[in-house]
């Protein structure tokens, strides 16, 4: 088992995401350089705007804190370069001393902070609130930003809570969010991910000592987070990994999809266990798939460590199977029927390695209460002591040790029945290849997303779950190429 990422990584991983609290810790550690950092932030934001836009009439809306200071620096730079730039202030007297200092350098008239003014400009830069936003968005800010024709955010669109991606008021969509050092979880979490626009993250020369002061626990899912097993000259089917599934009577398609996915993504052997009555029907499947007709005998084989339990199984049957698998201490991925069986009694899942609920299944297992999806997934992983793959447009992969990856590498084309079974099969294959459950789950979600994108391209945006399966090998290859480039 390999861990390529640890909570105590000595430097900030390129895919780490920083919460507002972690940003504050980092800023405190860099307090001697904070003015330079603000100048760098404003300079980099101005550079990104120049790279992406032709001169246009810009209004920079500055808040009372350092987010506003970044805005004032970028306004001065663009103005010095001949761009038609104006500044408006939410509060005439900023609360941050640095922002006051940057304001003192701005000698053009200040535009009144009213929606009518926002309307007059081609583009409004939202430098109102960033990491320091701590309560609901004032009504006047909502009205002002809503009135703008186009918007760019510095750090985050004002009103977006940086850790959870929730809205603290009516938030207007931006076409770009320019952030510094590392993005925030909110940039990739629903609902914020839909309104952040293009995410541009700038290096602001944060001192190494400050980078070392934070220990992030959230990452943007990407091949730099995990290490896929490579092919070796002495590989054989058992070394590559064996995946076993239990297939039921009414929905054999689900087990077939999981099995096909596990085979296509590289498992050495995949076997579906069913009953003597059903086995003949299952055998009319792919030639390379092995069908067994007795669970108890199959469980005795020590080479069959990884088991998928749930796809296509009614909940009572899934429960009976799960009990046996847990008894034999198998490495289990529980999905679908197995999750329904445990609804209301989480102890039934104790001992599984990975669960893959969608939002509805998750809510039946772990009542959300006032927790956000992110926090709920983190605490669920700790409570169950298993990896939680909370599926959605922003799939969250949480480990019991507190590590979390957020996946945005997916496609709306995956929103069809059967793609969940495909994902479960991919996790099974990677787990059987020797990966750590969290890394296997992160890699599987990414490879599944990549295959979804490739299948969508091939089939005009409307692929079937079966089409996603056919792209899994190529998609794994894309991940391997990306891993090599790191």
Ligand X SMILES: NC(=O)C1=CN([C@@H]2O[C@H](COP(=O)(O)OP(=O)(O)OC[C@H]3O[C@@H](n4cnc5c(N)ncnc54)[C@H](OP(=O)(O)O)[C@@H]3O)[C@@H](O)[C@H]2O)[C@H](O)CC1
70 binds, among K ion, ligand X, none (CB under 5 to 8 A by kind): ligand X
Considering the complex, state which of residue 154 and residue 443 has its C-beta at the smaller distance from K ion. Answer: 154
Query: Of the candidates 66, 190, 244, 331, which one interacts with ligand X according to CB under 6 A?
Result: 66
- The position carrying tokens 């498992």 is 267
Q: Give 62's strand partners.
A: 89, 127
CB of 174 to ligand X, least distance (A): 14
Q: Are 3 and 439 within 8 A, CB to CB?
A: yes
309 binds, among K ion, ligand X, none (CB under 5 to 8 A by kind): none
Burial of 486 (0-12, 13-18, 19+ CB in 10 A): exposed
Distance CA 166, CA 23 (A): 18
Residues 362-391 that bind ligand X (CB under 6 A): none
**Under rule CB under 6 A, residue 65 binds ligand X:** yes
Considering the complex, state which of residue 40 and residue 407 has its C-beta at the smaller distance from ligand X. Answer: 40
Handedness of CA 471, 473, 474, 477 (dihedral sign): positive
Which residues of the shown chain bind K ion in the complex (CB under 5 A)? 126, 130, 153-154, 158
What Rg value do the Cα atoms of the chain yield, rounded?
25
Give the residue numbers of the binding site: 66-70, 126, 130-136, 155, 158, 254, 312, 358, 391-395, 420-421
Which residues contact residue 184 at a Cβ distance below 8 angstroms, ignoring those fewer than 6 apart?
A: 17, 18, 19, 20, 23, 131, 155, 156, 162, 163
Distance CA 175, CA 157 (A): 10
Query: Of the candidates 41, 374, 399, 468, which one interacts with ligand X according to CB under 6 A?
Result: 41
**Under rule CB under 6 A, residue 37 binds ligand X:** yes
Considering the complex, state which of residue 27 and residue 394 has its C-beta at the smaller distance from ligand X. Answer: 27
**Under rule CB under 6 A, residue 445 binds ligand X:** no
Considering the complex, state which of residue 144 and residue 366 has its C-beta at the smaller distance from ligand X. Answer: 144
Q: Pairing between strand 396-398 and 404-406?
A: antiparallel
Binding mask 172-211 for ligand X (x = CB under 6 A): --------xx------------------------------
Provide the edge-to-edge strand list for the sheet that holds 110-111.
110-111, 85-89, 58-62, 123-127, 151-154, 176-180, 198-202
Query: Of the candidates 96, 407, 441, 453, which one interacts with ligand X according to CB under 6 A?
Result: 96
* Candidate ranges 125-133, 265-273, 341-349, 350-358; the one touching ligand X (CB under 6 A): 125-133
Distance CA 475, CA 280 (A): 32
**Under rule CB under 6 A, residue 95 binds ligand X:** yes
337 binds, among K ion, ligand X, none (CB under 5 to 8 A by kind): none
471 binds, among K ion, ligand X, none (CB under 5 to 8 A by kind): none
Which residues contact residue 107 at a Cβ distance below 8 angstroms, ignoring those fewer than 6 apart?
A: none
CB of 343 to ligand X, least distance (A): 38
158 binds, among K ion, ligand X, none (CB under 5 to 8 A by kind): K ion
- With both helix axes pointing from N to C terminus, report the angle between 66-80 and 34-52 in degrees, rounded to the nearest 10: 50
- Structure token pair of residue 397: 């992969």
192 binds, among ligand X, K ion, none (CB under 5 to 8 A by kind): none
Binding stretches for ligand X (CB under 6 A): 23, 26-27, 37-38, 41, 63-70, 95-96, 129-138, 154-155, 180-181
């Amino acid at each position: 088992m390999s861990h390529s990422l640890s909570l105590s990584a000595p430097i900030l991983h390129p895919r780490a995401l920083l919460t507002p609290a972690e940003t504050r810790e980092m800023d405190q550690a860099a307090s001697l350089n904070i003015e330079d950092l603000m100048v760098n932030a404003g300079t980099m934001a101005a550079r990104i705007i120049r790279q992406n836009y032709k001169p246009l009439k810009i209004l920079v809306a500055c808040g009372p804190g350092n987010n506003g200071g970044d805005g004032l620096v970028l306004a001065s730079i663009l103005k010095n370069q001949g761009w038609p730039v104006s500044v408006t202030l939410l509060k005439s007297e900023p609360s941050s001393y640095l922002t006051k200092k940057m304001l003192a350098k701005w000698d053009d008239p200040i535009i009144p902070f009213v929606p009518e003014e926002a309307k007059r400009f081609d583009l409004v830069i939202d430098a109102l609130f960033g990491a320091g936003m701590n309560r609901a968005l004032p009504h006047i800010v909502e009205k002002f930003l809503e009135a703008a024709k186009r918007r760019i955010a510095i750090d985050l669109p004002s009103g977006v809570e940086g850790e959870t991606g929730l809205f603290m008021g009516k938030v207007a969509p931006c076409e770009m969010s320019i952030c510094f050092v590392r993005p925030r979880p909110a940039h990739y979490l629903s609902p914020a991910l839909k309104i952040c626009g293009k995410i541009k993250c700038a290096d602001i020369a944060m001192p190494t000592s400050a980078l070392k002061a934070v220990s992030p626990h959230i990452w943007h899912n990407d091949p730099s987070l995990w290490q896929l097993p490579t092919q070796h000259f002495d590989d054989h089917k058992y070394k590559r990994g064996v995946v076993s599934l239990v297939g039921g009577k009414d929905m054999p398609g689900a087990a077939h999809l999981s099995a096909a996915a596990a085979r296509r993504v590289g498992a050495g052997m995949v076997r579906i266990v069913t009953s003597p009555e059903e086995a003949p029907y299952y055998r009319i499947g792919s030639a390379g798939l092995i069908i067994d007709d007795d669970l108890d005998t199959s469980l005795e084989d020590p080479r069959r460590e990884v088991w998928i339990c749930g796809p296509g199984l009614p909940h009572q049957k899934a429960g009976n199977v799960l009990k046996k698998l847990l008894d034999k201490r198998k490495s289990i991925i529980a999905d679908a029927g197995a999750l329904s069986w445990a609804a209301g009694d989480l102890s039934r899942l104790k001992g599984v390695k990975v669960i893959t609920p969608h939002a509805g299944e998750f809510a039946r297992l772990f009542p959300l209460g006032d927790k956000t999806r992110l926090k709920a997934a983190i605490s669920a992983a700790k409570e169950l002591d298993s990896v939680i793959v909370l599926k959605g447009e922003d799939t969250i992969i949480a480990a019991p040790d507190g590590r979390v990856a957020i996946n945005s590498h997916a496609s709306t084309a995956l929103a069809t029945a059967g793609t969940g079974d495909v994902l479960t099969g991919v996790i099974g294959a990677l787990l059987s290849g020797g990966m750590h459950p969290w890394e296997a789950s992160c890699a599987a979600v990414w490879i599944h997303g990549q295959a979804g994108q490739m299948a969508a391209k091939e089939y005009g945006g409307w692929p079937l779950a079966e089409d996603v399966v056919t792209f899994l090998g190529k998609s794994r290859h894309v991940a391997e190429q990306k891993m090599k480039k790191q």
